[in-house]
């Protein structure tokens, strides 16, 4: 008679208990005799079998979950309601279909256009950065000319704001390099540079058009039409 | 081991022929037959799901979802098919979908919360308390098992299905199902032994 290994034996012990305790023929007669032979020899195995038997009796005799009395009724009500809704859903007016079709068409067109003209990868940030550099140079030149200087000196009221702007831009460019894989951050950086560009362009246009320099306080942007320091 | 106790049997609704006749009428679109069908099988389906999800609200919702799925596909029902394994298969799929939607924490309450999740009628007679404690303990211990072990164990020991039937529901070989039940039984026994419930019951 072959003796099964310990793992197989333990697994078969459960089937043996099911067979003996519950009267189900889960084990062939020969395997059952093998188990019984092992049980006769091994007290630990007998204890294990008793523990399994007690556990299965406990599970079998445990109270089943209480079924809510009105559950079947609620099931039927829900099914009827959903079935009715489903039936109504099949009778939409013609304009609903037309609207849905139009939305799908617009969406498909958007996808097609997107494929035809894909975004230029890293280009937007670099282009924006380049434009900002040009605008800063243009602004510095305008301001220096208005103050009768060749370059802005450190005691010029515009020197510090522009130095801060350049420093911030350098930090943004470095951050851009570090976060190339994060599209959300990349987009945020582009928005930040774009805002700088808008402000710089407004400032340059104002100075060149009015032949005057506004207060370096950035509140100028809100009162540009009335403010301005005449030279 | 002399005592031979009967194994839990699958619910025999109203005899095999009547059951086949009922399913045929459901498949033909008979609404009254479907209502009868739901009333007949709500209890076993709910009990199975309740053991699977350990939440009354989820169990009720999933029971409704299960029968709605049957309703939608009732024309494909075959009168000679085993209806309970079919219902358990759908119910399990619905439960698995729910597990995927929610975090484990929301559904499977840790064992430390056992007392908080006992039914509200703790002032009722002592045997009710004992029963509720056992039910809560079993459900909480079951909830710690992997889903496939839990399903195999519930179908085997609470619903009384055969190993081939469980293999069909879980879509796994019979040998794998036996291993799942074996491992599940060991873990569950350990959890319940820690709570000393088996010994407590045995001493009564």
pLDDT tens-digit readout, A62-85: 888 889 999 999 999 999 988 887
Tell if the CB–CB gap between B42 and A72 is shorter than 8 Å: yes
Mean pLDDT of B1-13: 43
Higher pLDDT, A56 or B195: A56
Higher pLDDT, A76 or B8: A76
Most confident of the ranges A211-215, B189-193, B194-198: B189-193
Tell if the CB–CB gap between A65 and B46 is shorter than 8 Å: yes
Lowest mean pLDDT across A2-6, A15-19, B7-11, B37-41? B7-11
Tell if the CB–CB gap between A54 and B202 is shorter than 8 Å: yes
Residues of A in contact with B71 (CB under 8 A): 79, 83
pLDDT band at B122, cuts 50/70/90? very low
Give the number of C-alpha atoms closer than 13 A to the C-alpha of residue A6, restricted to the C-beta side.
4
Torsion of CA B117, B138, B105, B111, to 10 degrees: 70
Residues 6+ apart with CB under 8 A from A4: A12, A34, A38
Pick the residue of A28, A39, A62, A63 with the most B CBs within 10 A to test the interface with B by mutation: A62
At B114 the pLDDT is: 41
Higher pLDDT, B99 or A60: A60
Residue in B5, B43, B46 closest to A22 by CB: B5
B196: left (phi over 0), alpha (psi -120 to 50) or beta: left
At B46 the pLDDT is: 95
Residue B115: pLDDT over 90: no
Label residue A51 exposed, middle or buried (CB < 10 Å: 0-12, 13-18, 19+). middle
- Interface check for A67 against chain B (CB to CB < 8 A): the answer is yes
Of B123, B156, B204, give the one whose Cα is nearest residue B132. Answer: B123
At B4 the pLDDT is: 37
At B111 the pLDDT is: 37
pLDDT band at B107, cuts 50/70/90? very low
pLDDT band at B98, cuts 50/70/90? confident
Pick the residue of A7, A53, A71 with the most B CBs within 10 A to test the interface with B by mutation: A71
N-term to C-term CA, chain A: 113
Positions in chain A short of pLDDT 70: 1-7, 88-94, 110-123, 211-231
- Interface check for A51 against chain B (CB to CB < 8 A): the answer is yes
At B164 the pLDDT is: 92
Strand partners, A213: A229
- Interface check for B178 against chain A (CB to CB < 8 A): the answer is yes
Residue B185 contacts residue A58 (beta carbons within 8 Å): no
Residue B118: pLDDT over 50: no
Residue A27 contacts residue A12 (beta carbons within 8 Å): yes
Query: In chain B, which among 118-177 make CB contacts under 8 A with chain A?
Result: 131, 134-135, 138-139, 157-158, 162-163
Tell if the CB–CB gap between B7 and A62 is shorter than 8 Å: no
Mean pLDDT of B33-47: 94
At A172 the pLDDT is: 79
At B88 the pLDDT is: 94
Lowest mean pLDDT across B11-20, B46-55, B172-181? B11-20
- Interface check for A23 against chain B (CB to CB < 8 A): the answer is yes
- Interface check for A20 against chain B (CB to CB < 8 A): the answer is yes
Residue B74: pLDDT over 80: yes
Mean pLDDT of B193-200: 62
Question: Scanning every residue of chain A, which has its alpha carbon at the shortest distance from the alpha carbon of B142?
Answer: A59
At A101 the pLDDT is: 77
Mean pLDDT of B86-92: 93
At A117 the pLDDT is: 56
Q: What does the mean pLDDT of chain B come to?
A: 77
- Interface check for B39 against chain A (CB to CB < 8 A): the answer is yes
Residue B13 contacts residue B43 (beta carbons within 8 Å): no
Lowest mean pLDDT across A132-141, B172-181, B189-198? B189-198
Residue in the structure block whose two tokens are 């703790």: B122
Mean pLDDT of B3-16: 47
Length of chain A: 231
Higher pLDDT, B9 or B156: B156
- Interface check for A108 against chain B (CB to CB < 8 A): the answer is no
Pick the residue of B10, B29, B30, B35 with the most A CBs within 10 A to test the interface with A by mutation: B35
Residues of A in contact with B43 (CB under 8 A): 67
- The span from the CA of A29 to the CA of A158, in Å, is 99
At B8 the pLDDT is: 45
Strand partners, A229: A213
Number of Cβ atoms within 10 Å of the Cβ of A65: 20
- The span from the CA of A222 to the CA of A227, in Å, is 9
Alpha-carbon distances of B62 from A78, B40, B94, rounded to whole Å? 12, 17, 6
Residue B124: pLDDT over 50: no
Give the number of C-alpha atoms closer than 13 A to the C-alpha of residue B45, restricted to the C-beta side.
34
At A121 the pLDDT is: 52
DSSP readout, chain B? ----PPPPPPP--S-HHHHHHHHHHHHTT-HHHHHHHHHHHHHHHHHHHHHHH--HHHHHHHHHHHHHHHHHTGGG--TTS-HHHHHHHHHHHHHHHHHHHS-HHHHS--GGGGGGGS-S-TTS-HHHHHHHHHHHHHHHHHHTS-HHHHHHHIIIIIS---HHHHHHHHTS-HHHHHHHHHHHHHHHHHHHHHTTHHHHHHT-
């Amino acid at each position: 008679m072959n003796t099964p290994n310990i793992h197989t034996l333990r697994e078969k012990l459960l089937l043996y208990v099911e067979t003996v305790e519950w009267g189900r023929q889960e084990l062939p007669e020969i395997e059952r005799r093998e188990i019984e032979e092992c049980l006769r020899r091994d007290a630990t195995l007998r204890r294990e079998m008793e523990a399994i038997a007690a556990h299965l009796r406990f599970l079998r005799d445990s109270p089943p979950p209480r079924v809510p009395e009105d559950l079947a009724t609620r099931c039927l009500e829900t099914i009827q309601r959903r079935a009715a809704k489903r039936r109504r859903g099949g009778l939409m007016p013609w304009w609903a279909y037309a609207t849905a079709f139009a939305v799908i068409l617009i969406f498909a067109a958007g996808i097609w256009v997107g494929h035809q003209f894909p975004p230029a990868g890293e280009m937007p940030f670099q282009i924006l950065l380049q434009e900002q550099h040009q605008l800063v140079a243009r602004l510095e030149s305008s301001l220096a000319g208005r103050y009768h200087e060749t370059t802005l000196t450190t005691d010029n009221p515009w020197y510090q704001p522009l130095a801060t702007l350049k420093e911030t831009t350098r930090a943004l460019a470095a951050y851009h390099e570090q976060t190339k894989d994060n599209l959300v951050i990349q987009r945020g950086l582009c928005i930040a540079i774009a805002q700088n560009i808008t402000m710089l362009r407004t400032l340059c246009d104002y100075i060149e058009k009015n032949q005057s320099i506004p207060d370096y306080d950035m509140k100028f942007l809100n009162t540009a039409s009335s403010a301005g320091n005449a030279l | 081991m002399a005592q031979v106790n009967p194994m839990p049997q699958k619910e025999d609704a109203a005899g095999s022929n009547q059951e086949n006749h009922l399913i045929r009428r459901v498949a033909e679109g008979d609404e009254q037959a479907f209502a009868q069908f739901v009333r007949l099988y709500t209890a076993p389906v709910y009990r199975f799901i309740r053991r699977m999800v350990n939440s009354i609200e989820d169990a009720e919702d999933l029971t409704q979802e299960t029968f709605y799925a049957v309703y939608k596909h009732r024309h494909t029902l075959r009168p000679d098919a085993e209806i309970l394994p079919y219902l358990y298969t759908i119910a399990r799929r619905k439960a698995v979908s729910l597990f995927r939607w929610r975090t484990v924490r929301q559904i499977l309450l840790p064992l430390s919360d056992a007392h908080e999740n006992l039914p509200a009628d703790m002032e009722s007679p002592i045997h009710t308390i004992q029963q509720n404690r056992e039910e809560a303990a079993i459900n909480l211990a079951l909830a710690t098992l992997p889903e496939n072990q839990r399903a195999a164990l519930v179908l085997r020991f609470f619903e009384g299905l055969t190993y081939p039937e469980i293999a069909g529901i879980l879509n796994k070989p019979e040998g794998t199902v036996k291993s799942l039940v074996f491992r599940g039984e060991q873990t569950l026994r350990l959890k319940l032994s820690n709570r000393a419930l088996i010994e407590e019951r045995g001493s009564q």
